[in-house]
């Protein structure tokens, strides 16, 4: 992982080797690749058809339409996942390596993960429609952006936590090999973070199913846009109280989740196991029929070598540039800029007296003052102080629900996650099951909850609360499984040989090892619960409409009627609550987990 190989020699060696004759497995694998790309290409073409605002997009509840709807939904989710991965690598790495950037990026993520999907749609849908006027790409991009906001934050936090937790001895190895920051990122930090990041990618895909209804069945300012997809199919089925269509949607979701688990995530899990920080080789590794298929090919395996060489050049690009630019550096030594010394002294002055950091702090402070100024004018012009007080009361009610639910979920899923993570074969078997449960939208449970509440005259404020964590509780389970799986096998063997059991084992081994992962999952689950409140506190089934007391129902109501000042007020108060709770509770726990419990 850390040793640099000379790419030029490897490439030259492989270039002289003749291509092998394709075998049967090459044909099967190539057919699979062509089929996948053909389906994705055809689906992508459907996203750019002509469209004008107000034009009705019919959604059929026939089961024959579900395969096409499923392809549209999955493509949106994977585009959003790709964008989330890029965002994660950029901002997660910057936050982990730069203290000043960390003080800005991490609180910003805390705020952004609490902003409801409906708020993102209210802001983005008009802009995307104007950007792609006359095309369906506008609403499509708005839906993809909304799905992106439901996927990216836990991935970024997971990568940030892993980079911060890289053991000191591994960093010393990269220093010995004199790897640059770019090489260190791809040779050490990304591989070390990959097992936990992969579990969070799976959770992001599963968790985004919860918000796919809101992102595909767009309802903003009395404008209704139903994009073809499983989310719109579910929304129409709920509006018509069609139970049969709901069952069809559940079956389609199960098939889709099993397909992308087998074709993508199961091979990635097997690949990521070689990056585990473990000195004892575990023979019980995950197996994937897709990996076995490509390992039996001949030509495609040779093609994969070319891709590896391209990636190797990409990782070592700065080394190659430095090597090939030595000639120019030699001839430019005598052509130094006459003002170079002056520029060097000026740079030294700025660094010594910390002028650059001071300017950065002043810019951040100026932006904060401008935000307060516009917020003050907004409150004076559009809402009253009574509205502000009301939203704070509603926010307190929702905050109490979130904290109680996260506490109860932690009591349940931490022991279960550790038990699963310590058993690799069980992890391999249960992974697609957890993905399906995590992907199961709470909207499909709304009919049952609504009918029970009406039939038995139950309290809406109590019995709708579990819906807030029905989809987000899995963040805790996924991260705890990832943390338990990452405990080195030799550490477990030592504790077993010493006879460490029960509470002592939990206090000395398990809790310190999983704490960074658990806190990451708890933060994301809490943020997701706040986000889910917009759906869980206002449920509909046909003519039955139930609203609980809370900030989520407040935002949902004013989004549907198009009262954007109240939407902005509710969103701002929700962000403020999340930011304060994170600063008081979650962030101190997170810092404790990173500093005290990381492997050195």
Tokens encoding 311? 């990636």
Instruction: Determine which of 350-364, 407-421, 486-500 has the lowest per-residue pLDDT on average.
Output: 350-364
The whole-number average pLDDT for the span 133-144 is 86
Q: How much of the chain, in percent, has pLDDT values that exceed 90?
A: 10
- The CA–CA distances, whole Å, from 403 to 152, 180, 432, 466, 590 equal 22, 43, 28, 12, 16
- Residue 227: pLDDT over 80: yes
Average pLDDT, integer, range 363-378: 69
Is pLDDT larger for residue 242 or for residue 93?
A: 93
What pLDDT score does 9 carry?
41
Of the pLDDT bands very low, low, confident and very high (cuts 50, 70, 90), residue 88 is: very high
**What's the residue count for the chain?**
600
Q: What is the DSSP letter of 444?
A: G
Q: For residue 149, count CB atoms less than 10 angstroms from its CB and return exposed for 0-12, middle for 13-18, buried for 19 or more.
A: buried
372-390: pLDDT as tens digits: 777 677 666 777 888 888 9
Which is more confidently placed, 399 or 457?
A: 399
Give the separation between CA 579 and CA 570, rounded to whole angstroms: 14
Q: What is the pLDDT of residue 471?
A: 72
Section 489-501 average pLDDT: 79
Mean pLDDT value of segment 397-411: 91
CA trace torsion 151, 152, 158, 162 (10° rounding): 140
Contact 439, 206 (CB under 8 A): yes
Q: Is 221 left (phi over 0), alpha (psi -120 to 50) or beta?
A: left
Mean pLDDT in residue range 504-521: 84
Determine the pLDDT at residue 139: 87
Of residues 47 and 19, more confidence is placed in 47
Q: Is residue 427 within 8 Å of 481, Cβ to Cβ?
A: yes
Place of tokens 């770019």: 182
- Decide which of 556 and 409 is more confident: 409
User: Given a cut of 50, is residue 53 above it in pLDDT?
Assistant: yes
Q: What percentage of the chain carries pLDDT values higher than 70?
A: 81
Tokens of 80: 């959003």
- Find the range with the poorest average confidence among 30-34, 62-66, 320-324, 493-497: 320-324
Q: Picking from 131-140, 367-376, 463-472, which range would have the lowest pLDDT averaged per residue? A: 367-376
pLDDT band (50, 70, 90) for residue 239: confident
What does DSSP assign to residue 50? B
What are the C-alpha distances in Å from 505 to residues 223, 403, 492, 509? Answer: 57, 27, 10, 5
Q: Which of 581, 579, 567, 214 is nearest to 391 (CA)?
A: 567
Q: What is the pLDDT of residue 321?
A: 55
Residue 266 has pLDDT above 90, yes or no: no
**Residues 562-575: pLDDT tens digits?**
777 888 888 888 88
User: Beta 223-226 vs 217-220: how paired, if at all?
Assistant: antiparallel
Over range 291-300, report the average pLDDT.
86
pLDDT, mean over the chain = 78
Of the listed ranges 85-94, 199-208, 332-341, the least confidently predicted one is 332-341
| Residue 555 phi, psi dihedral angles, 5° rounding | -65, -40
Average pLDDT over residues 461-485: 83
Give the pLDDT score at 546: 81
- Predicted pLDDT at 3: 38
The CATH class of the 48-287+386-597 domain is mainly alpha
**Of residues 583 and 318, which shows the higher confidence score?**
583
Query: pLDDT tens-digit profile of 271-284?
Result: 887 776 655 445 44
Q: Please tell me the predicted confidence (pLDDT) of residue 598.
A: 53
Q: What letter would DSSP give residue 543?
A: T
**Higher pLDDT pick, 105 / 357:** 105
Tens of pLDDT, residues 517-541:
888 888 878 887 887 787 788 877 7
Q: Where in the chain is the domain with CATH 1.10.3720.10?
A: 48-287+386-597
Strand-pair partners of 538? 547
pLDDT of residue 549: 87
Contact of 489 with 530, CB cutoff 8 Å: no
Q: Is the pLDDT reported for residue 544 higher than 90?
A: no
């Amino acid at each position: 992982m850390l040793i640099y190989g000379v790419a030029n020699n490897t490439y030259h060696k492989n270039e002289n080797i003749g291509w092998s004759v394709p075998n049967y497995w090459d044909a099967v694998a190539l057919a699979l690749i062509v089929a996948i790309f053909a389906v994705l290409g055809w689906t992508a073409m459907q996203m750019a058809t002509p469209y004008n605002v107000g034009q009705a997009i019919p959604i059929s509840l026939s089961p024959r339409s579900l395969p096409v709807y499923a392809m549209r939904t999955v493509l949106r989710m994977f585009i959003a996942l790709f964008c989330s991965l890029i965002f994660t690598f950029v901002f997660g790495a910057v936050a982990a390596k730069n203290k000043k950037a960390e003080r800005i990026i991490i609180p910003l993520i805390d705020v952004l993960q609490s902003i409801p999907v409906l708020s993102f749609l209210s802001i983005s849908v008009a802009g995307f429609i104007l950007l792609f006027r006359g095309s369906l790409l506008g609403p499509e991009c708005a839906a993809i952006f909304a799905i992106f906001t439901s996927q990216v934050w836990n991935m970024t936090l997971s990568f940030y936590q892993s980079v911060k937790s890289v053991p000191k001895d591994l960093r010393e190895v990269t220093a010995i090999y004199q790897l640059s920051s770019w090489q260190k990122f791809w040779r050490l930090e990304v591989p070390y973070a990959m097992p936990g990041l992969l579990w969070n990618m799976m959770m992001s895909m599963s968790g985004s199913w919860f918000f796919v209804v809101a992102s595909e069945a767009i309802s903003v300012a009395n404008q209704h846009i139903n994009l073809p997809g499983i989310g719109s199919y579910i929304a129409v089925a709920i509006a018509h109280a069609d139970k049969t269509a709901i069952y069809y949607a559940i079956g389609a979701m199960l098939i889709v989740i099993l397909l992308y688990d087998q074709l993508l995530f199961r091979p990635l899990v097997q690949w990521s196991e070689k990056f585990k920080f473990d000195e004892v080789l575990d023979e019980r590794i995950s197996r994937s029929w897709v990996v076995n298929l490509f390992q039996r090919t001949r030509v495609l395996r040779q093609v994969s070598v070319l891709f590896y060489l391209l990636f190797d050049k990409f990782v070592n690009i700065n080394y190659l540039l430095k090597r090939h630019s030595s000639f120019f550096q030699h001839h430019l030594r005598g052509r130094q800029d006459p003002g170079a010394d002056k520029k060097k002294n000026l740079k030294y002055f700025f660094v010594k007296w910390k002028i650059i950091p001071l300017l950065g702090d002043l810019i951040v402070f100026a932006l904060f003052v401008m935000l307060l100024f516009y917020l003050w004018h907004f409150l004076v012009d559009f809402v009253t102080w009574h509205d502000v007080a009301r939203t704070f009361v509603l926010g307190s009610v929702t905050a109490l629900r979130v904290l109680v639910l996260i506490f109860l979920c932690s009591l349940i899923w931490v022991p279960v996650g550790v038990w699963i993570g310590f058993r690799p074969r069980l992890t391999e078997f249960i992974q697609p099951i957890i993905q399906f449960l995590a992907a199961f939208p709470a909207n499909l449970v709304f009919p049952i909850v609504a009918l029970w509440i009406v039939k038995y005259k139950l309290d809406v404020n109590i019995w709708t609360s579990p819906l807030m964590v029905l989809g987000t509780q899995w963040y805790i389970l996924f991260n705890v499984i990832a943390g338990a799986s990452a405990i080195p096998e030799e550490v477990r063997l030592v504790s077993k040989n010493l006879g460490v059991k029960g509470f002592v084992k939990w206090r000395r081994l398990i809790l310190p090892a999983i704490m960074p992962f658990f806190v990451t999952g708890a933060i994301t689950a809490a943020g997701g619960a706040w986000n889910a409140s917009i759906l869980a506190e206002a449920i509909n089934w046909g003519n039955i409409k139930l609203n609980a007391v809370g900030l989520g129902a407040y935002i949902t109501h004013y989004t549907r009627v198009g009262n954007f000042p109240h939407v902005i007020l509710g969103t701002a108060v929700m962000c403020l609550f999340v930011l304060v709770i994170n600063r008081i509770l979650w962030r101190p726990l997170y810092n404790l987990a990173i500093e005290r419990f990381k492997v050195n």
